[in-house]
Amino acid sequence: MKILNKTIHFLALFVAIGLLTACPKKVTTPKTLLEILSKNWKVSRVLINGQVDNAGNYNNFRLLLQQNGTYAVTVGGAPVSVVINPSNNGKWEIGSGETQIIFDKGTANEFAVTLVEKTESKLTIRFKIPPSINKTEPEYTFEFVPAT
C-alpha cells in the first residue's frame, strides 16, 4: 500500500509539473522593419564624406516616419542641402530587400537613402547629394535616435 501511495503521489507531482510547464508562454513576435522605423527620429550625428559635420546645426532636425506611409521633416537650422523636397513631407516606403527608404516614389522629388543601421534605438541612413544640387556630390550619413 505504501508503494501504491508513493506511486500516486509521484504521478500527481509529475502531472502537476507537466501542467505548469505546458502553460502557454507569452510569445512576442518580432517587430517588422516598418514598425521599427515608424517613429519620430532626431539627429545624433551627421557625417559628410566620412567626417563629422560640426558646422551644420542639426539640433532641431527631425524625421517623422509614420506607419501609414507618410513622412514629415522638420529641418530646423540644418543646411538647406538636406531638404528632401520643398514641402518636407510626403510618402515614404521601404525599398526592396529592406535596404532603402524611398521618399516620394514616382514623383519628380523621388529620393532614396540607404539604410545602414535600423534598430529600435538607432537609425543610420546614407545618401549622396545629386550633382544638380552640389557638383561635388558629397555623401551624407545621418545617425538618428528616437526623439523624446
* 56 pLDDT higher than 70: yes
The pTM assigned to this predicted structure is 0.77
For residue range 32-52, what is the model confidence (pLDDT) as tens digits?
A: 999 999 999 999 999 999 999
What does the buried/exposed string (b/e) look like for 105-140 if buried means 16 or more CB atoms within 10 Å of the residue's CB? eeeeeebebebeebeeeebbbebebeeeeeeeebeb
* 29 pLDDT higher than 60: yes
- Assigned CATH topology for domain 33-146: Lipocalin (2.40.128)
CA 56 to chain centroid, in Å, comes to 23
Cell 545621418 found at: 142
SS3 2: helix
Q: Where are the domains of the chain?
A: 33-146
Average of per-residue pLDDT across 19-37: 78
Q: Contact, 77 vs 83, CB < 8 A?
A: no
